Structure 1
Amino acid sequence: MSKVFHHPVQIYYEDTDHSGVVYHPNFLKYFERAREHVINSNALDKLWREQGLGFAVYKANMIFQDGVEFAEVCDIRTTYKLDGKYKTLWRQEVWRPGAARAAVIGEIEMVCLDKDKRLQPVPEVILDSLQINEQE
């Protein structure tokens, strides 16, 4: 896996359910935001506009170990690696302030697709951006 990237997420009231705890699907949004910061949203936009290539979630697995509450600022910790020519694996964790373990763990598999939704190799520009060595 790669080095750990950190992305802060403020928990707003709108993110929570009636008990003040984050509604579970919102963690997927937090993970998406963190991945965009790792890859660089401008690079993703350029890749789509110029080459018609983008990324889609192929598989997502989440483990919920602790509730995350309104008004907390959590740290999304992200690592990734290449899995073959077409897929990247992302491990993302939500850490509450001062916690001894991750509140939520996500394992996300992303694939590269063209505009016709056909599988494509992860582009060199993304491999370079992520500093992924295909020999890993």
Structure 2
Amino acid sequence: MSSVFTHKVQIYYEDTDHSGVVYHANYLKYFERAREHIIDGAVLAAVWRDRGVGFVVYKASLTYADGVQFGEVCEVRTTVRQDGNFRTIWEHEFWRPAGAKAAVTAQVELVCVDQAKDIVPTPQEFLACIG
């Protein structure tokens, strides 16, 4: 099993719907930010600049179990594994403070593409970050 990476998320008013609960699509943004903290943004930018390779989402599946609310400081817990040469699978859990279970769980599959949008093997620079 891979390491568990954690990332704190402050819930702002702008993140919520009219009832003060986080709008469902925002969890994808939180998970993206967590991934960027795992694979340093400078590494992402350098690989794109130098080799023209970057991540794209191939598939995403989310399950919503509890509504996170304005003002909470939550935690994204992430594990990641390589599936062959081309795909990484990211398991995300979104935890509320003192939560007994994850409020939201997600599985996001990423592949790498070049500037022509052709799928390419995951670069070693990325694999070193998730090692």
Q: Tell me which interval the TM-score lies in, with the shorter structure as reference length.
A: over 0.9
Which residue does 1:11 correspond to in 2? 11
State the superposition RMSD in angstroms: 0.6
Q: Which residue of 1 aligns with 2:24?
A: 24
Partner of 1:104: 104
Q: Normalising by the residue count of structure 2, what TM-score does the alignment of the two structures yield?
A: 0.98
Query: Secondary structure of the equivalent of 2:119?
Result: coil
Partner deviation per Cα, 1:68-116 (whole Å, 9 max, x = no partner):
0000000000000000110000000100000000000010000000011
Provide the rounded CA distance (Å) in 2 between the counterparts of 1:43 and 1:30: 19
Letter in 2 for 1:64: Y
- Give the paired residue count: 131
4+ runs deviating over 3 angstroms: none
Deviation at 1:9, TM superposition (A): 0.2
TM superposition score normalised by structure 1: 0.95
Unaligned runs of at least 5 residues, structure 1? 132-136
Partner of residue 134, structure 1: none
Distance across 2 between alignment mates of 1:97 and 1:120: 39
Distance in 2 of aligned mates of 1:100 and 1:130: 27
Mapped partners of 1:48, 1:29: distance in 2: 20
Where does residue 118 of structure 2 map in the other structure? 118
User: How far has the Cα of 1:126 moved from its partner?
Assistant: 1.3
How many angstroms does 1:125 deviate by? 1.5
Q: Give the drift of 1:129.
A: 2.2
Q: What is the distance in 1 between the residues matched to 2:58 and 2:94? A: 21
State the one-letter code of the partner of 1:128: A
Partner amino acid, structure 1, of 2:100: A
Which consecutive residues of structure 2, in runs of 5 or more, have no partner in the other structure? none
| Partner deviation per Cα, 1:22-53 (whole Å, 9 max, x = no partner) | 00000000000000000111000000000000
5 Å-filtered alignment, 1:1-136, equals 1-131=1-131
Paired with 2:57 and 2:68, the residues of 1 have a C-alpha distance of 24
Counterpart of 2:104 in structure 1: which amino acid? Answer: V
